[in-house]
Amino acid sequence: MWIRCEKAMRLSKRLSIFCSISLVLLLIFTGMSSAETLYVDDDGGAGVFLKIQEAVDAASAGDVIIVREGTYIENVDINKSITIHSEKGYEVTVVEAADPSDHVFDVTASGVNISGLTMKGATEEVAGIYVYGANNCNISDNNVNTCTYGISLNNCSNCVVSYNIVNSNEYYGIYLKLSNHNALKNNTASKNWDGLLLSYSTENMVEGNIASNNNFGGITLMDSSGNFIVNNTAKSNYFHGFYLQQSNNNSLKRNTASLNMRYGIHVLHSSENGIWQNNFVMNMYNVRSSSSTNIWNSTDKMRYIYDNETYENYMGNHWGDYEGGDSDGDGIGDIAYIIDSDRDNYPLMEPFENYKIQQMAFYFDTGTPENPYPSIFGLHKGTIIPNKTITVSKLYTYACPGTGGHSEYVEISNMSGIIATGRWSGYAGDWHYIEFDRSFLMKENEIYNYTIKTGSYPQIIHENKWEVECGKITCTEFVDANNKRYNNWIPAIRLE
């Protein structure tokens, strides 16, 4: 009797497991099959929508809408996570505002992707693409023109705006307001009032953009701090190339401002900005600094190759009107370049492109806090922004004295996805370390996300934000072993 009952119990258990697995697989395949592709064609046809808005209304989250070539007269509201892209590119796929007082695209959902379209005709204080209160959106390869604003993000984070052409808009080509941790990359902005404008926005990456022939300025920061302005070109703008007003602690590196009608760079009531390795040439005035104190040369020596020789020195900017000499031939001027009440102590004799920077070995090291307690294991999430390019292959975790504090899992990612992961191999060798599954670069001034699962008692920095010699680390969320949540628990670590 007992044997029969035991067999019955085993059979029942196996059946339960089989049913559970079947249910999971059913849910997975149901989810996979639920994502659909919808088509829009202004010429009509079987199984297609005539209007983009009709397709949006019919779509579910995760669906893809493909817009065929044509001209669509409408205003589109998007309140779900979907992807909209053209079939043949923005040159032949135009969306024109039916109501010029409404945005062409009005996005209020996270996870929206829009690409390959031309937007035009939103002329009454509205935008070609307006994104409000949304995260993780991607706006790319569009042409936005003849609107009041080209592309506008308000209260957004972790969005990417890239490879767009924004021209002939009344005010701003690309406008960020109250938006943090976004990336504006490789856009072209011309014949707007301002090419790109950041207002009350922090820790955004502005990289590889060209702002030219705008009616006022190229790239402007207003009341915005902690942003990274890298590898941009601002040329032939009517007033200034780069303009900072009441904006502090930003980083401007490897940019070029040329042929602007007034200033290459104008800094007003803005301080503690790091501005070096830029070219300011052939502007009416290369620089103006008013009521501001900034850092116009690197704060660490840099190793570089110049004229086939290797040197190590501090590096400033290249100024088209610099009149000093270079007696030792290292490419750095002998006397400072005067900037109103500031100065560039190490001006470059030639454009920064003529100096090949050699990678020096750096670690990202939080160090240890004065008091690492309280401590408990859990899951840490946050961001790391290095101020130097770092080669990373392993993670070291500082343990509380007398404990086995360590990390069990680590993941480093950016807006493009996961870069590398690593798992703890136990209390063997130097168990403070985790080796990543691949070596990788953490680039200067780029934003990286970390997820670290700790074990035992690691040292904890009880701050929301922690600045160290090689950059900054933040805590987005820490969930401890008791499922309590905090935003001021940073694990004490070293990336090397």
- CB count in 10 Å sphere of residue 46: 4
Which of 302, 360, 361, 359 has its CA nearest to residue 332?
A: 302
Per-residue confidence (pLDDT) for residue 5, from 0 to 100:
35
DSSP-derived secondary structure letter, 360: P
Per-residue confidence (pLDDT) for residue 23, from 0 to 100:
44
Strand 378-386 versus strand 471-474 pairing type:
antiparallel
Q: Are 222 and 203 in contact (CB under 8 A)?
A: no
* Burial (CB count <10 Å: 0-12, 13-18, 19+), residue 438: exposed
Sheet with 309-313, strands from edge to edge, namely 309-313, 302-306, 356-358
Which regions of 223-284 does DSSP assign to beta strands (E)? 228-230, 233-235, 240-245, 251-253, 256-258, 263-268, 274-276, 279-281
d(CA 161, CA 189): 12
Q: Dmax of the chain from CA atoms?
A: 103
Q: Give how far Cα 137 sits from Cα of 161, 224, 263, 410, Å.
A: 8, 21, 34, 25
d(CA 303, CA 309): 11
Q: Are 363 and 494 in contact (CB under 8 A)?
A: yes
CA 81 to chain centre: 20
Q: Are 190 and 213 in contact (CB under 8 A)?
A: yes
* Burial (CB count <10 Å: 0-12, 13-18, 19+), residue 285: middle
- CB count in 10 Å sphere of residue 259: 16
d(CA 199, CA 273): 16
Phi, psi of 58 (to 5 degrees): -85, -15
Residue ranges of the chain with per-residue pLDDT less than 50:
1-33
Q: Give how far Cα 332 sits from Cα of 252, 307, 325, 408, Å.
A: 19, 12, 9, 47
d(CA 239, CA 260): 6
Per-residue confidence (pLDDT) for residue 273, from 0 to 100:
97
Per-residue confidence (pLDDT) for residue 15, from 0 to 100:
38
Name the token pair of 477. 């969320």
What's the one-letter identity of residue 6?
A: E
Q: Are 394 and 433 in contact (CB under 8 A)?
A: yes
d(CA 217, CA 215): 7
Which of 261, 220, 209, 266 has its CA nearest to residue 237?
A: 261
Q: Are 141 and 118 in contact (CB under 8 A)?
A: no
Q: pTM value?
A: 0.77
Long-range interactions of 164-167: CB distance < 8 A, separation 24+: 164/139, 164/140, 164/188, 165/90, 166/128, 166/192, 166/195, 167/143, 167/191, 167/192
Q: Are 227 and 221 in contact (CB under 8 A)?
A: yes
Per-residue confidence (pLDDT) for residue 149, from 0 to 100:
98
Name the token pair of 491. 């694990």
Per-residue confidence (pLDDT) for residue 126, from 0 to 100:
98
Name the token pair of 5. 């009952």
Q: Are 196 and 206 in contact (CB under 8 A)?
A: yes
- CB count in 10 Å sphere of residue 359: 11
Which of 336, 244, 243 has its CA nearest to residue 296?
A: 336
Per-residue confidence (pLDDT) for residue 223, from 0 to 100:
98
Per-residue confidence (pLDDT) for residue 361, from 0 to 100:
67
